[in-house]
Amino acid sequence: MPRRRVLAGSDVRSLIPGTVGVVDPSEAAPVINVLERRNQNLTYILNTHHHYDHTGGNLELKARYGAKVIGSAKDKDRIPGIDISLHDRETWMFAGHEVLVMETPGHTKGHVSYYFPGCGAVFTGDALFSLSCGKLFEGDPDQMLSSLQQIMSLPDATDVYCGHEYTLSNSKFALSIEPNNQALQEYAAHVAQLRSKMLPTFPKNTPSENNASARLQGDGRGCLLSGHFLCRRRALSKQLHPSSSLGFSLSSAILVGSSLANFRGERGKSRTLIGALALDR
């Protein structure tokens, strides 16, 4: 059974409407700008893994706001400023909403994803991108495959918030593998239009919702991840995709507790809940 944690002591007082968290802040300045513009304080920093492009803003944000840093217990010695270490399948509460911690190793050994079942949202860090998945720095192909299957087991309507805006380059690579995939062609054109306007391409629903995203298929040699992931299992041990290199994260996610209750029923307003910050280099 999953372990359940309700943050105690002084943390209980912060679990009220207005609780604010940030997922994977690569740098502090853009987060500070958003918080000041909204006149809000920062309560939590959620890290999916230890890489600097996902934790670079931790210490400055923690010092400025007194925010608690949350991450995997397996990364407790590698995440800057970590206060709360969580384990696989453990749940805790954010502004009265349950959050499930899912270990999704492969990119790193201690990688986790954060699933908000009541809101229909999952933050996958560098485990899963739109149309690809993360490079294997520390894990192995079997771990990555298991992680992707775990994410794909979530309800179809789940919104996926990934750690990098790689969708445009991923779509070009995808078309080089499946040039006759009409759904993929249409999606690639849609992505190109969004990026030409500097708009984010995610959140994306989990893969089974549309034909441009794909399914896991087994064959005699292993597993072929087509469409949404577009990488052969044997290739996972090397570079999955040219764009999956370590670099500054192109997005952070701001979570506003007071907006969570309305998120599920007002999907068009999701940007007010989770603001994808355009941090293009």
Let me know if residue 261 belongs to a domain: yes
For 116-125, the pLDDT digits (tens) are: 998 888 898 8
Residue 230: left (phi > 0), alpha (psi -120 to 50), or beta?
left
Let me know if residue 218 belongs to a domain: no
Percent of the chain topping pLDDT 90: 24
Neighbours of 273 (CB within 10 A): 21
Catalytic residue among 54, 97, 111, 241: 54
Catalytic residue among 24, 50, 97, 126: 126
Q: Is the pLDDT of residue 208 over 50?
A: no
CB 107 within 8 A of CB 136: yes
Catalytic status, residue 88: no
Can you read off the two tokens belonging to residue 151? 């994410």
Neighbours of 138 (CB within 10 A): 14
Q: Domain of 116: which CATH number?
A: 3.60.15.10
Neighbours of 27 (CB within 10 A): 18
Angstrom distance (rounded) from CA 152 to CA 171: 19
Neighbours of 247 (CB within 10 A): 13
Catalytic status, residue 51: yes
Catalytic status, residue 190: no
For 61-98, the pLDDT digits (tens) are: 999 999 999 999 999 999 999 999 999 999 988 888 89
Which residues, in sequence order, are CB contacts of 191 under 8 Å at separation 6+? Answer: 130, 167, 168, 171, 201
CB 252 within 8 A of CB 279: yes
Q: Domain of residue 10: give its range.
A: 4-165+202-210+242-276
Q: Is the pLDDT of residue 16 over 80?
A: no
Q: In total, how many domains does the chain have?
A: 1
Let me know if residue 49 belongs to a domain: yes
Let me know if residue 171 belongs to a domain: no
Can you read off the two tokens belonging to residue 117? 């079942």
Can you read off the two tokens belonging to residue 95? 């502004």
Let me know if residue 157 belongs to a domain: yes
Angstrom distance (rounded) from CA 155 to CA 206: 7
Angstrom distance (rounded) from CA 144 to CA 190: 28
Can you read off the two tokens belonging to residue 27? 């740098």
Catalytic status, residue 53: yes
pLDDT band (50, 70, 90) for residue 255: low
pLDDT band (50, 70, 90) for residue 152: confident
Let me know if residue 226 belongs to a domain: no
Please name the amino acid found at residue 247. Answer: G
Let me know if residue 215 belongs to a domain: no
CA dihedral (262, 46, 17, 42) positive or negative? negative
Catalytic residue among 50, 97, 111, 164: 164
Question: Stretch 216-243: mean pLDDT, rounded?
Answer: 31
CB 61 within 8 A of CB 45: yes
Catalytic status, residue 164: yes
Catalytic residue among 24, 75, 97, 107: 107
Let me know if residue 23 belongs to a domain: yes
